[in-house]
């Protein structure tokens, strides 16, 4: 009979491997898991970043999502986008997008069913009709639609902030993003995407953490930026950076910019938005957009109650609904 290893033995093994990764003793290879389109720079070196002029107008966009009812083979989900506009440093508009509620499962998981949700037909162009749809695709579609609309509304010289990166869901045609970025360039609008928690890695360990230590050693407690790489031309011309946008910020962030943009000017302008005491180093307008897009617990409960009422009105017995959507795993944990 095989003898099982004690937890202390397996923990020690994992710790040894992790230490090698975090201390950079195993490899220096650069990697972005799940994204094969990135071409990394040969040399990645933090450099000093100086604040530029505050942009005349700032927009920020984020998406929110919620699971309303889950039967695994069927689910009811909700998504929406939030947008905020700042002019001369003051909030001029807060926009809470309309909730899109969708049934996912069976044939309703196909793109052809999205027209009923009011999804822009242009956004669906180029997506195969049999493409599987999930909550992540619905949220991504809403964010790109909002970005296209805001690019048209923004004044020349404005910055439009997006939560995340400028890489669309793999099921979306990359031409969709390229068209939005080209339109922004035509109108003199800067689109910048900020990722709070990136998978960028060097030697298997988080790249940004390594750059933060290197920048502290060479530049001290100051703003800095570093070019990481770019997406291949066939994936849309986007450059990827890391930047610490406030001297008091503990962390840096991944920032995606269109390749046509002067990065030092864009990042320097972005730094003027990152001095809020509660969120140093992170663009404050994005924190507002995140709040607007979120679907809080009380709203999920209202949607769930509303769904149950409509099912009752349609003649579905309560026990049928309960048996379909009961969380048996959670019930077993409570017993």
Average of per-residue pLDDT across 110-132: 61
pLDDT in tens, 302-323: 999 999 999 999 998 988 888 8
Say whether pLDDT at 121 is over 50. Answer: no
Could you write out the DSSP letters of every residue in 139-176? HHHHHHHHHHHHHHHSPTT-EEEEES-S---TTS-HHH
Say whether pLDDT at 27 is over 60. Answer: yes
* Average model confidence (pLDDT) across the chain: 86
Q: Which helix (H) or strand (E) holds 332?
A: helix 328-334
pLDDT in tens, 152-202: 999 999 999 999 999 888 888 777 788 899 999 999 999 999 998 898 988
**What CATH architecture applies to the domain 47-293?**
2-Layer Sandwich (3.30)
First to last CA, the chain: 34
More confident residue, 236 or 203: 203
* CA 22 vs CA 28, 143, 197, 215: distances in Å: 11, 34, 17, 16
Average of per-residue pLDDT across 106-117: 58
Say whether pLDDT at 97 is over 70. Answer: yes
Q: Using 50, 70 and 90 to split pLDDT, how confident is the model at 57?
A: very high
Closest among 56, 54, 146 to 95, alpha carbons compared: 146
Say whether pLDDT at 56 is over 90. Answer: yes
pLDDT in tens, 240-268: 999 999 999 989 999 999 999 999 999 99
Closest among 102, 187, 123, 107 to 152, alpha carbons compared: 187
pTM of the model: 0.87
Do 253 and 281 form a contact (C-beta atoms < 8 A)? yes
Whole-number percent of the chain with pLDDT over 70: 85
More confident residue, 7 or 214: 214
Sheet strands (E) in the chain: 30-31, 38-40, 47-48, 57-70, 75-87, 90-96, 100-104, 159-163, 190-195, 201-202, 205-206, 224-231, 238-244, 253-258
So what's the pLDDT on residue 122? 46
CA distance 24 to 30: 12
Hey, where are the domains in the chain?
47-293, 298-334
Task: Give residues with Cβ within 8 angstroms of 108, minimum separation 6.
Answer: 102, 133
């Amino acid at each position: 009979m095989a003898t099982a290893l004690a937890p202390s033995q397996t923990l020690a093994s994992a710790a040894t491997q992790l230490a090698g990764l975090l201390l950079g003793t195993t490899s220096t290879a650069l990697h972005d898991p799940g994204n094969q389109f990135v071409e990394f720079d040969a040399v990645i070196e933090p450099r000093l970043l100086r604040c530029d002029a505050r942009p005349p107008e700032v927009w920020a966009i984020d998406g929110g999502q919620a699971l309303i009812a889950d039967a695994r083979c069927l689910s009811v989900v909700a998504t929406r986008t939030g947008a905020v506009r700042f002019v001369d440093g003051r909030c001029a508009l807060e926009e809470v997008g309309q909730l899109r509620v969708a049934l996912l499962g069976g044939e309703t998981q196909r793109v052809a069913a999205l027209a009923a949700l009011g999804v822009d037909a242009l956004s669906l162009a180029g997506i195969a009709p049999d493409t599987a749809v999930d909550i992540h695709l619905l949220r991504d579609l809403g964010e790109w639609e909002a970005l296209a609309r805001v690019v048209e509304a923004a004044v020349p010289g404005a910055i439009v902030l997006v939560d995340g990166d400028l890489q669309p869901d793999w099921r979306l045609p990359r031409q969709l993003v390229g068209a939005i970025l080209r339109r922004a360039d035509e109108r003199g609008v800067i689109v910048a995407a900020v990722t709070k928690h990136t998978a960028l890695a060097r030697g298997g360990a988080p790249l940004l953490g390594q750059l933060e230590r290197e920048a502290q050693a060479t530049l001290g407690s100051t703003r800095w930026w570093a070019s990481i790489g770019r997406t291949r031309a066939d994936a849309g011309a986007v450059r990827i950076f890391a930047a610490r946008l406030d001297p008091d910020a503990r962390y840096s962030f991944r920032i995606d910019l269109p390749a046509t943009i002067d990065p030092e000017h864009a990042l320097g302008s972005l730094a003027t938005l990152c001095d809020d005491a509660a969120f140093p180093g992170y663009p404050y307008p994005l924190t507002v957009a995140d709040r607007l897009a979120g679907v809080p617990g009380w709203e999920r409960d209202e949607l769930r109650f509303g769904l149950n009422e409509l099912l009752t009105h349609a003649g579905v017995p309560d026990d049928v609904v309960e048996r379909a959507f009961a969380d048996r795993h959670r019930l077993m944990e409570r017993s």
